Structures are given as C-alpha cells and as structure tokens.
Amino acid sequence: AQSVTQLDSHVSVSEGTPVLLRCNYSSSYSPSLFWYVQHPNKGLQLLLKYTSAATLVKGINGFEAEFKKSETSFHLTKPSAHMSDAAEYFCVVSAPQGGKLIFGQGTELSVKP
C-alpha cells in the first residue's frame, strides 16, 4: 500500500533563506511522486513530478526535489525563499491503479520578511 508522511506540519523561514520541506513515502511499487502547492482559497498547482527518470527533479519557481530510494524520501528544497512562496505544500504519491493520489498531510510554509 502507498502512504506519504510529511514530517513537518508548519515550517517558517526568513525571506532569502533556504527552504526544506520533508516528505517520506511508502510504496510497494516504483512510485510516481509529486509536490503540489496551494495558495489560500486557490486550487493546487503542480510544482514538480518524479517518474523514475532523473532522481533530481527541477520544478517551477526555483523548487527542486531529490528522490532517494534508500531513504524513501522526496524532500522539496529551494535555495532562497520569497514572500510569494508562503502557501500549503502537499507531497503526493500516485497509486499504480486507478489514478488515485495519496496526499500527505500538508506543510504550511510561512516566509518572514
């Protein structure tokens, strides 16, 4: 069975400092992994996707994530936070059948001036 655990419910950083949002997954299969961002009262926007190609995945807005099979992790990083990055971030794994997305609990990112 698939599952996703986001290790922090809330992360606070200062503008211009690095961002690290942690995600661990469990999967019986070679997973497809995603990070989505959701700004208040908006839909979810795909940041990046891993599908067994390169282990370092680059996404939009300067975000990237590294797939580490040995650690079953898919952490999201960004070198320098911007105020506009403040949002809820979801780590997601795709079930092999039925297209179902398994969501982590979400991490709220706050960015201080």
Partner 1 sequence: DAMVIQNPRYQVTQFGKPVTLSCSQTLNHNVMYWYQQKSSQAPKLLFHYYDKDFNNEADTPDNFQSRRPNTSFCFLDIRSPGLGDAAMYLCATSRDLAGNEQYFGPGTRLTVT
Residue ranges binding partner 1 (CB under 8 A): 32, 34, 36, 41-46, 49, 51, 90, 94-101, 103-106
In the bound complex, what is the minimum distance in angstroms from residue 86's beta carbon to partner 1? 15
In the bound complex, what is the minimum distance in angstroms from residue 105's beta carbon to partner 1? 6
Which residues, other chains included, contact 99 with Cβ-Cβ below 8 Å and sequence gap of 6+? none
Which residues, other chains included, contact 90 with Cβ-Cβ below 8 Å and sequence gap of 6+? 6, 35, 36, 37, 38, 44, 103, 104, 106, 107
**How many degrees, rounded to 5, is the angle at CA 56 between CA 87 and CA 29?**
90
Residue nearer to partner 1 on the CB measure, 12 or 14: 12
Residue nearer to partner 1 on the CB measure, 27 or 73: 27
Residue nearer to partner 1 on the CB measure, 7 or 101: 101
In the bound complex, what is the minimum distance in angstroms from residue 16's beta carbon to partner 1? 28
Q: How far apart (Å, rounded) are the C-alpha atoms in residues 22 and 8? A: 7
Chain centroid to CA 6: 8
In the bound complex, what is the minimum distance in angstroms from residue 109's beta carbon to partner 1? 14
